[in-house]
Amino acid sequence: MESEAIIYRAFVETPVGTIKIEATDRAILSLVFVSERGPAFKNALCEKACEALREYFSGKRKTFDLPLEKASSSFAEKVYAETKKIPFDETMSYGAIARAIGSPGSARAVGAALSKNPHMIAVPCHRVVYKDGSVGHYAGGDEKKQALLAFERGVS
């Protein structure tokens, strides 16, 4: 990120909680769940992300094409890219993602990368589960992960 970039902020209410959006003029920096709203200072990318999230929660959108800030490591970037391929209302295990990115045996590292995912919903880490099919954890809160999976089952 450029050191002089202005960071814009918006908030969108969803059925599972408030999401804070932060962006520069060139990329979405984060889409994260927050417990409280703060002051908003929106730009066009914040508005685009708000609209995309509203469409997702209304059942009209199943994928995201937002310009997201790159991950902090090449491993995380590979994990996020693979996670974005998981279809709406489907899940994939941490181990399957590790194998898909050419790092078999790194399921825990995949989980660690996803725990730092700054782009909730757009990088659908809520669709990543344990190999036995149990839901696992979610940086946005385990109850939100269960609610998102239930929402997608109800829409598809």
Condensed to tens digits (0 to 9), the pLDDT of residues 127-146 reads 999 999 888 888 888 999 99
> According to the model, what pLDDT value does residue 153 have?
93
CA 37 from chain center: how many Å? 19
The answer to whether residue 25 scores a pLDDT higher than 70 is yes
DSSP 89-117: T--EEHHHHHHHTT-TT-HHHHHHHHHT-
Point out the residues that are catalytic: 125
The answer to whether residue 99 scores a pLDDT higher than 60 is yes
Condensed to tens digits (0 to 9), the pLDDT of residues 36-92 reads 999 999 999 999 999 999 999 999 999 999 999 999 899 999 999 999 999 999 999
> According to the model, what pLDDT value does residue 155 have?
83
The answer to whether residue 3 scores a pLDDT higher than 80 is no
